[in-house]
């Protein structure tokens, strides 16, 4: 098992994520079959694979949107595969969506405040009557939201409606909103899809800083192989709903199964060249933003 | 990414980090001043205008309460409901039965509890809320037009009950609504007789103030909700249920709660309707009333509290004004159109125009006139203090069409 980076201070309250033999079926189609892997506390764990490999399905299982037909997902004492999505958020699992799922009409601050939902209590009566505790709660959490926005370079856009922001900014609001839930496990679904090189670089640095500053686990679905290989402590490779490899970035890059999945067939190709070709091919040929 | 780093200790920061200063010092006094001025005008109005306008005002206040409630459900949360007329009926009938005296003759023997009107009003609101809560499990399973069609059933059930449960509702002919009173003060023509600056304050004047207070309370409550935790949850579940639930929002729970709140608004609107007309009758609570309420919030601007107010005033007052000034308006009255029909033609045209040219509705138009940048949710976008020049930044005054996201 790979250890987190040397400068990382893993929080003691972060359990590993144990994915055990998870299968998901849509009718006759098996989107995932008996996938297992472990996300060690405080690591950046990437899930990669060609289009249709089941990466997003895996994310939907982790966040409770899809039910696993078989197998289980453990997060400490919690069985994520048996919990409703909003309860999963309550135990510290946050997700940033690939296709941006923000409220376009609301401001950045309001979108981020939604991340504080499970940390705050104000109901209809307290909010409608502006009871002091509701107002105080809003102020307190507003300060933390502003801080997280500042961290993701959104500080000057807090009061701009999300709908008028650039694509890159909206992607960062997605990540910021997930961070606002104060997660113990952060699920990032293609955080740099469609971003340019500069934005990608900054996002990669932000992810490293999130891990270093908060000591939380990060699970990453990403097509940008360069980013995956430089960021991830561990990589799980899916193809046609099956796990075909699991290991450190260097290990999976050499894995003949992985090479075959990305290049079709690797019979006469030198493995190291093929791995490079696979990395290059995967990062350039995938259409950003396409559902996988 | 930046020099600022993120640490895990929340709350350990100087309060007010990154919070905006009040926008535009120069105009910050203008808004409160205008609001106070408007309030003073409203309060003084009964001294100067005739009864017709006050009665129209009270009818509009009732419509405002109902429209704000429906807008919370349809505009803010994206739950299409055609059952609003039903919930109004529940409120109105409860009020009339709880506060009305038993009586009537022959076949139409009426029951009534004869309790103080304020009790009747509260029971009306609560029962309407309960009806909404009972219906909400259906709302949790259906979406969009399917929910609309299912909610339609309630309207027909309501009409049937109104027609047949004679002891409570007065049956086909309806029954009169008791006068409102509060701690011995009657909102009627006498008891006590009241003169303010030599102007007699009779039923119309007194109801005007009642309407003002209730509409204002309904307005503030809804606005506060929209600007805080529940409001954000509702707007997010409208835009994406998956996103809302993954961010920790109990989607089913919130759908049920907003149905409860919305139908309580409708119940109050129903009570005010009964007071405004002075009686209730089955044909008042048909599908047409639901459609009129939908027209109010579409015209006003979906999701905007201000829009609901403007739309309610427009839709509820226009037929009354047409009726009164039929002889002055071409094509209306006499050999031309009936006032109600003329008003309906106008609504139809106005809705088409609004949907085509200003999806943010009357609220959007009002904002444009006021020169404010505003999001469709109805809140003024505050500009950070370091961007004083409004022209240099991308103007958010044209937010994405709100209607298309629901």
Beta-carbon contacts below 8 Å between A and B = 194
Q: Classify residue B13 by its DSSP letter.
A: S
**Is pLDDT of A194 > 80?**
yes
Lowest mean pLDDT among A107-111, A210-214, B179-183: B179-183
Q: What is the reported pLDDT for B318?
A: 85
Q: Are residues A176 and A111 in the same domain?
A: yes
Q: Are residues A128 and A108 in the same domain?
A: yes
**Is pLDDT of A8 > 80?**
no
The CATH number that applies at residue A3 is 3.40.50.300
Q: What is the reported pLDDT for B166?
A: 78
Q: Are residues A149 and A5 in the same domain?
A: no
Q: Are residues A131 and A194 in the same domain?
A: no
High-pLDDT (> 90) share of chain B, %: 33
CB count, 10 Å around CB of A180?
25
High-pLDDT (> 70) share of chain A, %: 87
Encode pLDDT of B23-82 as tens digits: 444 457 787 888 888 888 888 887 788 888 888 999 999 999 999 999 999 999 988 999
In terms of C-beta density within 10 A (0-12 exposed, 13-18 middle, 19 or more buried), how is residue A74 classed? middle
Query: Could you tell me if residue A40 is inside a domain?
Result: yes
Query: Could you tell me if residue A279 is inside a domain?
Result: no
**In chain B, what is the straight-line distance between the N-terminal and C-terminal CA atoms, in Å?**
36
Residues of B in contact with A134 (CB under 8 A): 228-229
Q: Are residues A44 and A88 in the same domain?
A: yes
pLDDT band at B106 (very low <50, low <70, confident <90, very high): low
Q: Which of B248, B265, B268, B360 to mutate to test the interface with A (most CBs of A within 10 A)?
A: B248
**Is pLDDT of A267 > 80?**
no
**Which residues span the domain enclosing A136?**
104-180
Query: Could you tell me if residue A280 is inside a domain?
Result: no
pLDDT band at B4 (very low <50, low <70, confident <90, very high): low
Q: Residue B175 is inside which H or E element, if any?
A: strand B175-176
Q: Are residues A175 and A65 in the same domain?
A: no
pLDDT band at B232 (very low <50, low <70, confident <90, very high): very high
Which chain A residues in 151-210 lie under 8 Å from chain B, judged by CB atoms? Answer: 151-153, 155-156, 158-161, 163-164, 177, 179, 181-182, 202-203, 205-206, 209-210
What is the distance between the alpha carbons of residues B209 and A230, in angstroms, rounded to a whole number?
A: 69
Q: What is the reported pLDDT for B205?
A: 81
* ipTM for this model: 0.83
Q: Are residues A163 and A192 in the same domain?
A: no
| A207-234 average pLDDT score | 89
List, as one string, the DSSP characters of chain A.
-PPPPTT----TT-PPEEEEEEEEEETTEEEEEEEEEEE-TT-EEEEE-STTSSHHHHHHHHTTSS--SEEEEEETTEEGGGS-HHHHHHTTEEEE-SS----TTSBHHHHHHHHTGGG----HHHHHTT-HHHHHHHHHHHHHHHHHHHHTT-GGGTTSBGGGS-HHHHHHHHHHHHHTT--SEEEEESTTTT--HHHHHHHHHHHHHHHHHH--EEEEE-S-HHHHHHH-SEEEEEETTEEEEEE-HHHHHH-HHHHHHHHS--TTS-HHHHHHHHHHHHHHHSPTT---
Query: Could you tell me if residue A283 is inside a domain?
Result: no
Q: What is the reported pLDDT for B30?
A: 81
The architecture in CATH of the region B49-382+393-405 reads Orthogonal Bundle (1.10)
Q: Is A38 on the interface with B (CB under 8 A)?
A: no
Pairing of strands A234-239, A242-247: antiparallel
Q: Are residues A172 and A211 in the same domain?
A: no
Q: Are residues A144 and A205 in the same domain?
A: no
Partner-chain contact A105 B248, CB within 8 Å = no
Partner-chain contact A122 B229, CB within 8 Å = yes
The rounded mean pLDDT for chain A is 84
User: Which residue did the predictor score with more confidence, A100 or A89?
Assistant: A89
Q: What is the reported pLDDT for B400?
A: 40
Query: Could you tell me if residue A98 is inside a domain?
Result: no
| Number of domains making up chain A | 2
Query: Could you tell me if residue A116 is inside a domain?
Result: yes
Encode pLDDT of B321-337 as tens digits: 887 877 777 766 666 67
């Amino acid at each position: 098992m790979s250890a987190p980076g040397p400068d990382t201070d893993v929080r003691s309250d972060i359990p590993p994520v144990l994915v055990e033999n998870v299968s998901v079926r849509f009718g006759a189609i098996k989107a995932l079959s008996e996938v297992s892997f472990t996300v060690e506390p405080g690591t950046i764990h990437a899930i990669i694979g060609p289009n249709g490999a089941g990466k997003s399905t895996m994310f939907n299982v982790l966040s409770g949107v899809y039910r696993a037909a078989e197998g289980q997902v453990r997060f400490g004492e919690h069985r994520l595969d048996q919990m409703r999505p909003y309860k999963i958020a309550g135990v510290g699992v946050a997700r940033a969506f690939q296709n941006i799922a923000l409220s376009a009409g609301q401001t950045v601050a309001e979108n981020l405040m939604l991340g504080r939902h499970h940390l705050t209590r104000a109901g209809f009566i307290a909010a409608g009557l502006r009871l002091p505790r509701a107002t105080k709660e809003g102020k307190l959490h507003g300060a933390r939201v502003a801080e997280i926005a500042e961290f993701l370079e959104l500080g000057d856009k807090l009061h701009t409606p999300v709908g008028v922001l650039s694509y890159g900014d909206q992607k960062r609001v997605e990540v910021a909103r997930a961070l606002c839930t104060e997660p113990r496990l952060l699920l990032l679904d293609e955080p740099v899809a469609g971003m340019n090189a500069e934005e990608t670089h900054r996002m990669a640095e932000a992810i490293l800083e999130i891990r270093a500053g908060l000591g939380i686990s990060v699970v990453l679905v990403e097509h940008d192989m360069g980013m995956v290989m430089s960021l991830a402590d561990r990589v799980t490779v899916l193809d046609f709903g099956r796990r075909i490899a699991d290991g450190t970035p260097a290990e999976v890059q050499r894995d003949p199964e992985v090479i075959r999945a990305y290049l079709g067939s690797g019979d006469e190709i030198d493995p190291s060249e093929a791995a490079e070709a696979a990395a290059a091919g995967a990062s350039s040929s995938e259409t950003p933003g396409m559902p996988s | 990414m930046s020099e600022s780093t993120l640490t895990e200790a929340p709350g350990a920061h100087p309060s007010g980090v990154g919070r905006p200063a009040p926008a535009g010092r120069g105009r910050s006094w203008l808004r409160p001043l205008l609001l106070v001025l408007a309030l003073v005008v409203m309060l003084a109005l009964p001294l100067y205008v005739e009864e017709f306008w006050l009665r129209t005002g009270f009818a509009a206040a009732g419509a405002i309460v109902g429209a704000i409630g429906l807008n919370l459900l349809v505009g803010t949360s994206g739950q299409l409901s055609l059952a609003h007329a039903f919930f109004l009926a529940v409120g109105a009938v409860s009020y009339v039965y709880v506060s009305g005296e038993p009586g009537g003759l022959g076949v139409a023997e009426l029951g009534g509890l004869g309790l103080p009107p304020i009790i009747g009003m509260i029971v009306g609101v609560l029962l309407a809320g309960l009806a909404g809560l009972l219906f909400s499990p259906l709302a949790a399973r259906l979406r969009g037009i399917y929910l609309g069609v299912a909610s339609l059933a309630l309207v027909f059930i309501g009409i049937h009950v109104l027609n047949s449960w004679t002891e409570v509702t007065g049956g086909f002919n309806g029954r009169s609504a008791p006068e409102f009173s509060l701690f011995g003060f009657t909102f009627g023509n006498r008891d006590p007789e009241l003169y303010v600056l030599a102007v007699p304050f009779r039923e119309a004047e007194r109801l005007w103030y009642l309407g003002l207070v209730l509409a204002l309370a309904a307005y503030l409550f809804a606005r506060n909700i929209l600007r805080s935790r529940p409001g954000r949850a509702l707007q997010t579940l409208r835009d994406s249920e998956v996103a809302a639930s993954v961010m920790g929002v109990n989607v089913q729970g919130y759908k049920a709660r907003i149905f409860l709140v919305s139908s309580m608004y409708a119940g109050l609107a129903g009570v005010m309707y009964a007071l405004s007309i002075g009686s209730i009758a089955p044909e008042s609570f048909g599908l047409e009333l639901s459609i009129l309420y939908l027209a109010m919030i579409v015209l006003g601007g979906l999701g905007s509290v201000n829009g609901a107010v403007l739309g309610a005033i427009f839709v509820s007052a226009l037929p009354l004004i047409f009726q009164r000034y039929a002889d002055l308006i071409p094509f209306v009255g006499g050999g031309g159109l009936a006032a109600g029909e003329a008003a309906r033609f106008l609504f139809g045209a106005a809705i088409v125009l609004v949907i085509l040219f200003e999806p943010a509705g009357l609220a959007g138009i009002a904002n444009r006139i006021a020169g404010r940048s505003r999001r469709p949710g109805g809140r003024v976008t505050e500009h950070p203090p370091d961007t004083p020049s409004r022209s240099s930044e991308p103007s958010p005054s044209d937010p994405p069409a709100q209607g298309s996201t629901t």
